């Protein structure tokens, strides 16, 4: 029986994967770094500690990882305040699922950006537990962020459902022992290997219903 639902943020509720890529690539170019498609793929799912270190060590940005993370967050926050890139149906889906289950959020984003996005969307009060991967030892695809979300919700991970979009996110939630509902990101779709691990694959948030979370929930 499902007792709680844990959402990812970027790629599930916000169309931000392209925005993250744009901001990090812009910073790398300004600082004389080397940024290509392989960097974007490598950093998907990493915690802020991990991707800022990657940008310093592998992309060649001379600033310290702490400075890199702070500058990327500053630029993204400014973009969010100008126009929050909500995926169509995101707010409605969260409200719909919150009517039946307590909600958590497990994101690779920085906590400041998570809180800002939820506040701007007007849904922060619907989440009982919010976890950034910067608060756990390892980012996705390790299960740490999902396990911590389940712990804060007071529910065993095996009794949680996760809503994910990415390769590393699906693998992270599955490794935590959760039921995984995948809504593939069209810009950066998960690989077939990860999709095969999902319990259910949907086309959009409009299909995210109580029955999708738990087939036995209806009838």
pLDDT at 216: 79
Which residues of the chain fall below pLDDT 70? 217-219
Superfamily of domain 17-82 in CATH is Putative phosphatase; domain 2 (1.10.150.240)
Which residue among the candidates 10, 21, 144, 165 is catalytic per the annotation?
A: 10
Rounded CA separation 32/17 (Å): 22
| Residue of 8, 21, 144, 165 marked catalytic | 8
Number of helices (H), then strands (E), belonging to the chain: the values are 10, 6
pLDDT of residue 70: 96
Domain range summary for the chain, segments of one domain joined by +: 4-15+85-217, 17-82
pLDDT 10s digits, 187-199: 888 889 999 999 9
Instruction: Count CA within 13 A, CB hemisphere, residue 125.
Output: 2
Render 137-186 in DSSP notation, one character per residue. SS-TTSSHHHHHHHHHHTS-GGGEEEEE-SHHHHHHHHHTT-EEEE---S
Q: Tell me whether residue 192 is one of the annotated catalytic residues.
A: no
Confidence at residue 218, expressed as pLDDT on a 0 to 100 scale: 54
Is residue 8 part of the annotated active site? The answer reads yes
15 neighbors 87 (Cβ within 8 angstroms): yes
Q: What is the pLDDT of residue 40?
A: 84
**Domain covering 4-15+85-217 in this structure, CATH number:** 3.40.50.1000
């Amino acid at each position: 029986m499902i007792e709680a639902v844990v959402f990812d943020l970027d790629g599930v509720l916000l169309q931000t994967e392209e925005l993250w890529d744009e901001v990090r690539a812009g910073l790398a170019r300004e600082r004389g770094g080397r940024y290509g498609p392989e960097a974007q793929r490598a950093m998907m799912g990493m915690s802020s500690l991990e991707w800022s270190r990657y940008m310093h060590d592998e992309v060649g940005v001379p600033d310290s990882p702490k400075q890199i993370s702070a500058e990327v967050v500053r630029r993204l926050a400014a973009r969010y305040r100008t126009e929050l890139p909500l995926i169509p149906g995101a707010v409605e889906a969260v409200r719909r699922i919150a009517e039946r289950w307590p909600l958590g959020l497990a994101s690779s984003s920085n906590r400041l950006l998570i809180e800002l996005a939820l506040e701007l969307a007007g849904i922060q009060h619907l989440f009982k537990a919010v976890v950034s991967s910067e608060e756990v030892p390892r980012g996705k695809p390790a299960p740490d962020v999902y396990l911590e979300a389940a712990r804060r919700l007071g529910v065993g991970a095996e009794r949680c459902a996760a809503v994910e979009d990415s390769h590393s996110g699906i693998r992270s939630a599955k490794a935590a022992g959760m039921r995984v509902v995948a809504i593939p990101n069209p810009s950066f779709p998960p690989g077939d290997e990860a999709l095969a691990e999902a319990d259910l694959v949907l086309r959009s948030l409009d299909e995210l219903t109580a029955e999708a979370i738990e087939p036995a929930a209806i009838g």
